[in-house]
Amino acid sequence: MCEFIGVADLAANALITLLEDRQDVSPIRFSTLYEYGITVKEQYIRLTGGKDSIALLLSANDTEKMFRNYSDFFKIVSVGGERAVKLKDDKTTTDLRNHFRTFLSLDLLRAFISEEATGVVLQAA
């Protein structure tokens, strides 16, 4: 089996981590999302014992699709001259969970919330 992780999945899960830890809606830089994605991928491979594969969808085209398809959730902002993703003011962790975590496999959810993966997000914020 092959899992696919899109930039919207990374953004949603990173923002959930920040909101739960800090109770604020800090923007997430794309460089942080990339690092978070690599760590989630490593954790998923570890959790599945390498029996399942995983692909990250992080191209510029995927990013543009994210803002087109999920404009009700995310907006682009600039942080220190770098593009970042910010959660819209009217959205909550419940909204993110309901939309982006409902159909995740248990192994993938565990990879998203692993200490290693969430550490990437919290250190960068």
Q: What is the pLDDT of residues 54-99, one digit of tens each?
A: 999 999 899 999 999 999 999 999 999 999 999 999 999 999 999 9
Indicate the number of domains in the chain: 1
> What local confidence, expressed as pLDDT, does residue 22 receive?
80
> What local confidence, expressed as pLDDT, does residue 25 receive?
74
For 14-49, the pLDDT digits (tens) are 999 999 988 777 899 999 999 999 999 999 999 999
47 lies in which domain range? 2-124
The model's pTM is: 0.93
> What local confidence, expressed as pLDDT, does residue 7 receive?
95
Q: Tell me the Ramachandran region of residue 50: left when phi exceeds 0, alpha when psi lies from -120 to 50, beta otherwise.
A: left
> What local confidence, expressed as pLDDT, does residue 21 receive?
87
Asked if residue 98 lies in contact with residue 16, where contact means CB atoms within 8 angstroms, the answer is no
* Token pair listed for 80: 């220190």
E-strand ranges in 7-96 read 28-29, 53-57, 74-79, 82-87
* Token pair listed for 79: 């942080």
> What local confidence, expressed as pLDDT, does residue 40 receive?
97
CA distance 50 to 67: 32
Banded model confidence at residue 52, pLDDT cuts 50, 70, 90: confident
E-strand ranges in 1-125 read 2-6, 28-29, 53-57, 74-79, 82-87
